[in-house]
Amino acid sequence: MNLSTPETILSIQDLHASVEDQQILYGVNLLIKEGEIHAIMGRNGSGKSTLSKVIAGHPAYKVLSGSINFKGTNILELAPEERARVGIFLGFQYPVEIPGVSNLEFLRVATNSRRKELLKNELDTFEFEDLVKERLKIVEMDPAFLERSVNEGFSGGEKKRNEILQMALLEPVISILDETDSGLDIDALRIVASGINKLSHPNSATILITHYQRLLNEITPDFVHIMADGKIIKTGNKELAIDLEKSGYDFIDKNTKDKELAK
Partner 1 sequence: MKSSAICREWLNSLPPTQGYLKEEQSIGRKLLSTKGMPSNKDEAWRLCNFNRLNSFLSLPIIINKKDFTSKLKYILPEKEKDRERIIINLTENPSKNINLPNGVEKLNDIEIKQNLGKIVKLMNIKNDISVGLNQASSSELLALKVKRNMIESLEIVIPSIEKKSISTRIFLLIEEGAKLDLLQVFLGNKNSAQNHLMEIKVESNVEMTHGLISMGEEKESSSICTLAVEQSKNSKYSLHSIHHGWNYARFEPRIIQNEGEASTIVKGLQVTKSKEQIATHSLIRFEGPNGKLDQLQKAVASEYSHCIFNGSIEVPKKAQKTEAAQLSRNLLLSKRARIDTKPELEIVADDVRCTHGATVSQLQDEELFYLLSRGIDNEHANSLLLKGYYDEILSHFPKSAGKWNVIEKLIKDIIK
Is position 149 an interface residue for partner 1 (rule: CB under 8 A)? yes
Is position 159 an interface residue for partner 1 (rule: CB under 8 A)? no
Q: Look up residue 200 and give its DSSP letter.
A: -
String of DSSP letters for 70-137: ETTEE-TTS-HHHHHHHTEEEE-SSPPPEEEEEHHHHHHHHHHHHHHHTTPPPP-HHHHHHHHHHHHG
Among 14, 64, 117, 143, binds partner 1 (CB under 8 A): 117
Is position 145 an interface residue for partner 1 (rule: CB under 8 A)? no
Shortest CB 171 distance to partner 1, Å? 11
Is position 60 an interface residue for partner 1 (rule: CB under 8 A)? yes
Is position 109 an interface residue for partner 1 (rule: CB under 8 A)? yes
- Looking at beta carbons only, is 21 or 239 nearer to partner 1? 21
> In this chain, which stretch among 8-16, 32-40, 84-92, 213-221 interacts with partner 1, using CB under 8 A?
84-92
Query: Per-residue x/- marks for partner 1, 39-58, CB under 8 A?
Result: -----------------xxx
Question: Which residues, 6 or more positions from 50, have their beta carbon under 8 angstroms from its beta carbon?
Answer: 17, 19, 24, 25, 61, 230
- What amino acid is encoded at 66 in this protein? G
Is position 195 an interface residue for partner 1 (rule: CB under 8 A)? no
Q: String of b and e for 111-140 (b: at least 16 CB within 10 Å)?
A: bbebbeeeeeeebeeeebeebbeebbebbe
Q: Which residues bind partner 1 (CB under 8 A)?
A: 56-60, 79-81, 83-85, 90, 92, 95-96, 98-101, 105-106, 109-110, 113-114, 117, 149-150, 166, 170
